[in-house]
Structure 1
Amino acid sequence: GCVSETCTRHRRYDASASPTAVDIDFEGKTLAANEMEERDQVAISYGIGEITGEFVRETVCLAVSADSRSCVSMRVIAATEMTPEPFNAFDFDGVLGLGLAGLALDPEFSFLGQLSSARNLAEDQFGYFLSRSDDVASEISFGGVDPRRVASELHWSPVHKPELGFWQVKVLSVTVAGEALPLCADGDCVGVADTGTSLLGVPRQASQRLHWLLARKVNVEDTSGLDCRETAGPDLVFELEGGVKLTLGPEDYSQAKPMQVPKVGGGSQPVCRAALLPVDEVE
């Protein structure tokens, strides 16, 4: 198990306390007692950090009641080491991967895939609701979409190159306040839906222009109680393949706190900025 300070901040999984846990190697074969000392490990990057872990086959359930329809046998990685950054800052204790099969080390690592293979889902779908307020919990649903959490009619855009494993879609155009950016003029733009980040990733060469278009000056002296997500700003619109238009308002793309920009001659100007992450394009 993991005994570092980073791990002890969290609730830890103990395979020895589980009647359904089986220690396995990289290929999924059960380990004999004399193979436990030098067992296979894997290192996985997560954001700016890394997890090192060992392989276990376990029964994983969605519900505490362990209804057989909500349980699957799958392979999991039990952490033996976690870097302080970013895991010291996280409240959650584990990561449930929801990528497509192309990203999995083996199909048995895919929770959604195993649920689907066992025909335990009403529909091969999941939906996630990201709350705007700490007073309302975010949610994820398996087997369909919770209609109580849907803000509008559902629209569907096809996954682009699903063999890569990402929930990736083709982006036909990007506009800010009606101004089309030349970013997607050549027709090869793509975007990835990722629940593991709170930032909006944009190509590095376009990030400065997009920052400028989405920035708003705030003409108040005291910004201590200012929330930029509640400050008026232009719409950011993504046109996706399949006739889908995704519109983000300032409440979706803004950083909460304004940035203080120095003025010529002294003082500073508070500016509301977008939460953008410059991303280097990979060929």
Structure 2
Amino acid sequence: MSEEQQPVSGDKLDTTLLGKHTEYVSTYAPSLLFPISRAESRRELGLEEGQELPFLGVDLWTAYELSWLNESGLPQVAVAEFHIPSNSPAIIESKSFKLYLNSFNQTVFKSFDDVLRTLESDLSAAARVPVVVSLFTLAQSAARGIGHVEGESLDNLDVVIDTYEPAPELLCLTEGAAEVSETLYSDLLKTNCPVTGQPDWASVVVQYRGAQIDHEALLKYLVSFREHQDFHEHCVERIYMDLMERCQPQQLSVYARYTRRGGLDINPYRSSEVTQPDGVRLTRQ
């Protein structure tokens, strides 16, 4: 891996491409990919580098603006889906990811398979774990449809909210706390880019089994991220860790489907179980 592909830590984010004027490159340039170490944000959650993670999961990215040239010079287009394991040492900065994908625009590839293999090789090198890529024609992508997350919505609860920074102390169990198995969701999650300050919007799903979590408390807690600045992946891990610590469910999954920016959406999934998230595309994506 080249030097510029080594993951950077959070205190060096000013060296990244986010928030800066950038020249767009239209011929293949894998060096544009910019990994960022997960270690620092996880250390804030009490997770030391090299420690076994208390969750499993994946970061599920979707790219809607992928194009290249075939051998006749005719543009080809596709929708790509990327599965980056949560145990990767690095995430990939979203703007660098976008610039990298743009570099395919005037590059000739023999086939979809050549594009797929190139993407998997480059992204695996940047994330430092095997990354799985799927390519879909526009017809295939359209056939997958647009849906919504399943479960019980929290968003119509009559609550008073005055906290807009993460407040895990808001979380609690219901009085009596009978054991339940339920799926709850909110479309009201908003976090912010740690570099540019731009808002990131998401629907978040909490699926768990254990003593019942107070629904109003959970909604207040999720809304408390509204002014919080961090990457999508780290926000979901914070939610997972807070729920585990404060509510101690027997099983837990947290899944956020973020709206796209620059033709990319990022959908982190963390779970206590060996499961895979539903790849449903939401209305806002």
Report the TM-score when normalising by structure 2.
0.29
Larger RCO (alpha carbons 8 Å, 6+ apart) = 2
Q: Which has the larger radius of gyration?
A: 1
Higher helix fraction (1 or 2): 2
